[in-house]
A = this chain, B = another copy of it.
């Protein structure tokens, strides 16, 4: 089955300690996401870099976050904070896809691109488990993709949040594995 690696929201504003909206649990997965990325590149898997990108005026920010955004903007187009962190910088030819909501499928052409490329299985890493990872995974499942979650390369605010989300998604029919186990499947 043709598989893609999909890296979610690993942007400076969310990962760096001085980022405007640092996500707890983001920093510590960087090296494992990098291992998954390098192994995927070596194995020839297509790589998707999903990033949140907002207008400076915030008109495309979720309504419930708009007041917060006005006080402390994050992931604003053309700012350094919106860039993907250096460790995971996209290579020429890899797909970089902007989004404005939790799900990478929401108001994007991600489904069309995946179909065109004949991809049937998505391996998800990045931040964070209850929001962007889960919303994207649930949409992928609804669209009949197979979904794999690399549990130790997915960031969560706390272990409790992480575990309950992995449990729910496993019950839905997604596959949960470690980066090491994923890399073994590539050999």
Contacts and interface: CB of A to CB of B under 8 A. Distances in A.
A141 B62 CA distance: 8
Interface residues of A, number: 27
B173 A168 contact: no
B64 A173 contact: yes
A102 B62 contact: no
A173 B171 CA distance: 25
A103 interface: yes
Contact of A138 (B102, B146, B165, B168): B102
Interface of A: 62-65, 101-103, 106, 130-131, 134-135, 138-139, 141-142, 144, 146, 160-161, 164-165, 167-168, 171-173
